[in-house]
Chains A and B, each alone.
Chain A
Amino acid sequence: MATIDVNGKSFEVDEEGYLINLGEWNEAIAERFAGDDNTQLTPNHWEVITFLREYYNDYQIAPAVRVLTKAIGKKLGPEKGNSKYLYELFPYGPAKQACRYAGLPKPTGCI
């Protein structure tokens, strides 16, 4: 099993870099994942990451992109609930990249 080291602690990740143990997540891990992708996390990124963690807490799944986009629109308004906005924040794909930063598993139905 691969691991990453953050602040002197080691965390297990799967072969695609997703955190194995959801409960271990902290903000420094998200910063580390983003740093590895040369992404600087802004308040707009954090808004989506926080949203995903709440979604997972409520439903026990990582949402599909379409579902995430719609739910973000409902909660944060149409200017944020569209794929252009989300892909600008997370160019590798909002569900895959943002879910990984948020410590969630890869979304079910993500092919």
Chain B
Amino acid sequence: MSDAGGVVKKFMFVNRKAPYGTVYALESLEVVLISAAFDQDVSLAFLDDGVYELTKGQSTKGLEMKNFSPTYRALEGYDIEKLYVARESLEERGLSEDDLLVDVQVVSCAEMADLMAEQDVVLSF
């Protein structure tokens, strides 16, 4: 906790899986929300199929699964504002920033590599 004078570390959560097909995306989001309680420097990266986690228009009514996509919009209230999305992954999937339900920074592969390299802890999902 920063109030107690603790060390603030840079944590990055790397998301590479589409939602619903596996539980990785939801698990990652839950860990991110919990991590917010510890006042660390948290960022999220979305690459490969992970970009599908952020697409607009998700509706799970027919699946009897929770549509957790609105929760990404709550991250700002948790002071988690660094969301990086891989440009190449968007382009491969015919997506653009307008297709995403939150404000993100679209970054190149080289920029993403730099961001990863500067982390103290990288957690992959």
Chain A interface residues (CB < 8 Å from chain B): 58-61, 63-64, 66-67, 70-71, 108-109, 111
| Chain A residues near B24 (CB-CB < 8 A) | none
| Chain A residues near B125 (CB-CB < 8 A) | none
A25 to chain B, nearest CB (A): 17
A70, B74: Cβ atoms closer than 8 Å: no
Contacts A61-B33, A108-B30, A109-B37: A67 and B67 contacting too (C-beta < 8 A)?
Answer: no
Q: How far is the CA of A67 from the CA of B71 in the complex (A)?
A: 13
Contacts A59-B71, A60-B66, A60-B70: A71 and B77 contacting too (C-beta < 8 A)?
Answer: yes
Interface size classification for chain B? 10 to 19
| Chain B residues near A67 (CB-CB < 8 A) | 36, 74, 77-78
| Chain A residues near B9 (CB-CB < 8 A) | none
B70, A109: Cβ atoms closer than 8 Å: no
B30, A59: Cβ atoms closer than 8 Å: no
Q: Verify if B34 is at the interface (C-beta below 8 Å from A).
A: yes
| Chain A residues near B30 (CB-CB < 8 A) | 108
